[in-house]
Structure 1
């Protein structure tokens, strides 16, 4: 059974350990960007880890492209954070001030004292942000970029020619329509082929590299989408079985995938140089992942809210038309059946969005199960 269905059996520790001896390690762009996001200790440890991988480190051209396209957003986003946080706090303090000033006589709250406390808090906060801005490690980050560039010298795949990319786009459209991993979760992206088909390009390059070098590939990624991971009852069991089977069929080699924080724990056992600070690195990475998840949840909630309001507006118009309310939409008799059908469909869509919002809220409140991740 294991030989016929290799992707459906999570790898045993000894199998993974054997892979580490000869595999090519491929970090994705987000993993490389971690070298710019975090504190000095974290940045140094990540670079030390990439150095320890030595000649086994390699990235497809697409990974390098995504890194270059996003690194300035990471760098300037960190610089912009100081002023953005000050603006946010000023807005919050202004609301608190207004609320206090609207408060009528109160038996215990001293309005003037609380107003002074708010002013002091804001002044202290601005002072801390100013000090943090002055200490921003721009020169160190430039140094990290230079080290990263040196580490990846001669370890980057080639750019795809236009004709090969055209062929891939046709194949990608067919794969995505059939939900063949990876990449189909990006099929709604409106940007160019390097966005919509980026994961598929990376996948094809990893297969080609494994076939040419006759070596397995270990992919290190922060991408948690289902088109990479075999997820069973909320637990990540490993790569999608289809990926392992396609990799073996095309390259004759094995394929494995790690979340970066998980990869760090295993790397610490093999590279003692990073062991002392791995807990600090993982803590920083997990905090960053939690922040990213909250951003994604907020963006998804906003999108759901806009969609729900549009559906509700359409529903209200139909209800008005069916009721014959003066000033509402006119509905001729022949249209009434179609309007009722549309109303039923709208109610189902609105209910589905509300249920999705509830499920998202429950997911946000639940902590991840670290034991649920595969080795």
Structure 2
């Protein structure tokens, strides 16, 4: 039975070992970017496993291209981890100050004690401000002196696919377009993207060419767990699309398997006797975000906000009244959230409505929340919104699989901090 329906089987331990010992281990761009999104210890464990497999590693040209294109944005985003701390610290400072004033004259807390407490809080706020300012201003330095990039340069030296010529690239795009019309994965869910809609399809074609040339088993590590790459059952990822396994066998005559990075570090770590920590697994699992419906994503955002803010400070809006889906009250500031699976919502929704909502003082700031990286057009639209309003607009890439991360909360606090406090108006 396995010989007839091999595409439905996951590799046995011996077959998996063969992928690691004699196969091509291909890395997608989201895996190349993963070390920037985890802590140093997790990154070290990932690189330890990959270093043992150095001779088997390879990255399609498309993966390398997307890595370098998206790397500045990823570093810039992760470099702002301090930004969301200033506003909550300022709120806490005000509460402490008010409390100390209310007990002024109490024999237990002397004026000297009160001053010492406030000085300590001010030192913390000053330290965070210094760290934030320094981090956010050193993007160019971080891009130039990047230890993660140096590790990739060592691991992937002479292990990157060739850059296609303009004619070859045009042929690749034509082939991918034909595949989309025929409903052939992967990349079907990216077909309507305004930018890089051919990326997954091109990567797959380059992977087929590599397998055909090397005649070696091919293992793709990718955190893109959309339905056009993976089979899922009951919400769980259970393997590659059977069409992909079949095509690899038909075109290149070799076995094919694919895994998210979290599955790879666990299984490869076991085979290589390099077990990874539970913390590493948790962090890396958070990098794989399955496809969601718009309503599911909005509910994930709402749940995260309710976990971090009082329920009476999280407000929902009927979409026919405003492009804003949710709002959060932070003190006297109201941050409106536009929640979208795709940043292009920012362009489709009426910029005029958003600017009127802010300039009319209904909202003091607007935050776009999307699980997908913003395209250049999205960022241009964000700039247009900012220029049309006196209040701040910003965007964050956030996924429910990262719901333990404070980045969404930090982004709300950061926008509240940037805006001028204004009274709530319904």
Q: TM-score, normalised by structure 2?
A: 0.58
- Classify 1:87/1:7 alpha carbon distance in 2 versus 1 (closer, same or farther; 3 Å): same
Larger Rg: 1
What is the CA-CA distance between 1:300 and the residue it aligns to?
Answer: 9.0
Do 2:224 and 2:288's aligned partners in 1 also have CA atoms closer than 8 Å?
no
Q: List gaps (5 residues or longer) in structure 2.
A: 104-114, 303-314, 324-398, 404-426
- Classify 1:287/1:132 alpha carbon distance in 2 versus 1 (closer, same or farther; 3 Å): farther
Match of 1:309 among 299, 312, 319: 319
SS of the aligned residue for 2:220 comes to strand
Which residue of 1 is the match for residue 189 of structure 2?
185
What is the CA-CA distance between 1:180 and the residue it aligns to?
Answer: 1.6
Counterparts of 1:183 and 1:307 in 2: how far apart (Å)? 33
Which residue of 2 is the match for residue 79 of structure 1?
79
Matches within 5 A, 1:111-130: 112=102, 124=124, 127-128=127-128, 130=130
Counterparts of 1:309 and 1:177 in 2: how far apart (Å)? 33
What is the CA-CA distance between 1:138 and the residue it aligns to?
Answer: 4.9
1:218 aligned onto 2:219: yes
SS of the aligned residue for 1:230 comes to strand
Which residue of 2 is the match for residue 149 of structure 1?
153
What is the CA-CA distance between 1:126 and the residue it aligns to?
Answer: 5.5
CA-to-partner distance for each residue in 1:123-146, whole Å, 9 max, x for gaps? 645535646877999599623322
CA-to-partner distance for each residue in 1:156-195, whole Å, 9 max, x for gaps? 001122222222323322322343210111111101xxx1
What is the CA-CA distance between 1:262 and the residue it aligns to?
Answer: 1.0
Which residue of 2 is the match for residue 249 of structure 1?
250
What is the CA-CA distance between 1:79 and the residue it aligns to?
Answer: 2.2
Which residue of 2 is the match for residue 240 of structure 1?
241
- Classify 1:153/1:364 alpha carbon distance in 2 versus 1 (closer, same or farther; 3 Å): closer
Instruction: Calculate the aligned-residue CA RMSD, in Å.
Output: 4.1
Do 2:46 and 2:265's aligned partners in 1 also have CA atoms closer than 8 Å?
no
Which residue of 1 is the match for residue 179 of structure 2?
175
- Classify 1:173/1:23 alpha carbon distance in 2 versus 1 (closer, same or farther; 3 Å): same
Q: Give the number of aligned pairs.
A: 296
Counterparts of 1:237 and 1:133 in 2: how far apart (Å)? 44
Do 1:28 and 1:59's aligned partners in 2 also have CA atoms closer than 8 Å?
yes
Matches within 5 A, 1:1-375: 1-82=1-82, 84-89=83-88, 112=102, 124=124, 127-128=127-128, 130=130, 138=142, 142-191=146-195, 195-272=196-273, 274-275=274-275, 277-287=276-286, 297=297, 309-310=319-320
What is the CA-CA distance between 1:204 and the residue it aligns to?
Answer: 0.8
Do 1:90 and 1:122's aligned partners in 2 also have CA atoms closer than 8 Å?
no
What is the CA-CA distance between 1:39 and the residue it aligns to?
Answer: 2.6
- Classify 1:139/1:171 alpha carbon distance in 2 versus 1 (closer, same or farther; 3 Å): closer
Which residue of 2 is the match for residue 373 of structure 1?
none
What is the CA-CA distance between 1:25 and the residue it aligns to?
Answer: 0.5
Structure (1/2) with the larger helix percentage:
1
Q: TM-score, normalised by structure 1?
A: 0.65
CA-to-partner distance for each residue in 1:324-375, whole Å, 9 max, x for gaps? xxxxxxxxxxxxxxxxxxxxxxxxxxxxxxxxxxxxxxx969x9xxxxxxxx
SS of the aligned residue for 1:282 comes to helix
What is the CA-CA distance between 1:18 and the residue it aligns to?
Answer: 3.2
- Classify 1:74/1:111 alpha carbon distance in 2 versus 1 (closer, same or farther; 3 Å): same
Counterparts of 1:231 and 1:145 in 2: how far apart (Å)? 33
RCO comparison, higher one (Cα < 8 Å, 6+): 1
- Classify 1:80/1:131 alpha carbon distance in 2 versus 1 (closer, same or farther; 3 Å): closer
Q: List gaps (5 residues or longer) in structure 1.
A: 102-108, 314-362, 368-375
Counterparts of 1:76 and 1:263 in 2: how far apart (Å)? 27
SS of the aligned residue for 1:189 comes to coil
- Classify 1:143/1:216 alpha carbon distance in 2 versus 1 (closer, same or farther; 3 Å): same
SS of the aligned residue for 2:19 comes to helix
